[in-house]
Amino acid sequence: MSETYLVFAEHRGGKLRQVTLEALQAAAVAADDGGVRIAAVLIGHNAGALAEALAGYPVSDIHVIEDASLEHYNPEAYLHALAELCGAVRPVAVFLGHTALGRDLAPALAARLKAGQLSDVIAVERSGDETVFTRPLYAGKAFEKKVFRGTPWIVTVRPNNIPPAAVGGLATANVAKHDYTAPSSLRTIVKDVVRQTSGKVDLTEAKIVVSGGRGVKSSDGFKPLEELAELLGGAVGASRGACDAGYCDYALQIGQTGKVVTPEIYIACGISGAIQHLAGMSQSRIIIAINKDPEAPIFKVADYGIVGDLFEVVPLLTEEFRKALA
């Protein structure tokens, strides 16, 4: 009987999240065409509607756990549903996105399955008969390579680091629906979720991020950044200093105690570059810094630096990009 790698297919707003496709690719690399079946699991209310979209990718089996009580993420309920499926499927490995949901669910699942866990993986490669996982340490100052010595594995994949799986699924992908019964030990019930978002693009998955620090001076100071981000199809982020000052919501915070982002382009506006902030964005492909202080630490990690007032520079950039895109 062939082994199975299970991918937790995270979705939001009726669409698969980008990190789900990246987790599928990580599983495919780990499988190395060695006869391993790659399966995916969809959990949620009306989750089955996404099975067809998921079938367009290289998966052999799609498991759907659908129930009205699973409409909103509940740690206990989702853990119970996923653990029950793992008991039936017995996967050798489970891959999840290193998102707020994945970070919450993965360690609990690892404890339930008595499995080894690796978090925040940014690369997967094969070396002989082993699968080697790379993850950052010390806020990205160093990297370690790890291999599992036993099974099962639990792996979370950092968004925007592993290429997404390409379309080209198996015509014979099996879709199996599973019944869900809430456990009697369930202590919490999520009635509703109030979301405060930074825009149309998810911050952790955005290819372009425009971030503001204390230099934006007020909540209105974020408006030029929001305009630039919207024009480029990106997301708006912030330093802890800007959040602490009340200029924006903490949902936008990037850094050691906030979100970790690895976009193609990171534009830091009025951000000094404290080590805590660098921990959340230093792995960005291209870093552009805009700051009035030529001695600001952010310039040491920036690929391109602009010494100037962000309220003059950002509108000029927006105008030039608008002309170029037109």
CA triple 181-186-189, angle to 5 deg:
95
**Is 150 annotated for ligand binding?**
no
147, amino acid identity: V
**Is 240 annotated for ligand binding?**
yes
**Is 25 annotated for ligand binding?**
no
**Is 255 annotated for ligand binding?**
yes
**Is 128 annotated for ligand binding?**
no
Burial grade of 194 (CB within 10 A; 0-12, 13-18, 19 or more)? exposed
**Is 271 annotated for ligand binding?**
yes
**Is 275 annotated for ligand binding?**
yes
184 CB-side CA count, 13 A: 0
131 phi/psi in degrees, rounded to 5 = -100, 125
**Is 298 annotated for ligand binding?**
no
**Is 267 annotated for ligand binding?**
no
**Is 253 annotated for ligand binding?**
yes
**Is 218 annotated for ligand binding?**
no
Angstrom distance (rounded) from CA 301 to CA 289? 9
Would you tell me the crossing angle of helices 75-89 and 100-113 to the nearest 10 degrees?
Answer: 50
Angstrom distance (rounded) from CA 145 to CA 123? 9
**Is 273 annotated for ligand binding?**
yes
**Is 288 annotated for ligand binding?**
no
**Is 117 annotated for ligand binding?**
no
**Is 122 annotated for ligand binding?**
no
**Is 199 annotated for ligand binding?**
no
**Is 69 annotated for ligand binding?**
no
Q: Which residues are annotated as a binding site?
A: 214, 239-240, 253-257, 270-277, 291
- Binding-site members for FAD are 214, 239-240, 253-257, 270-277, 291
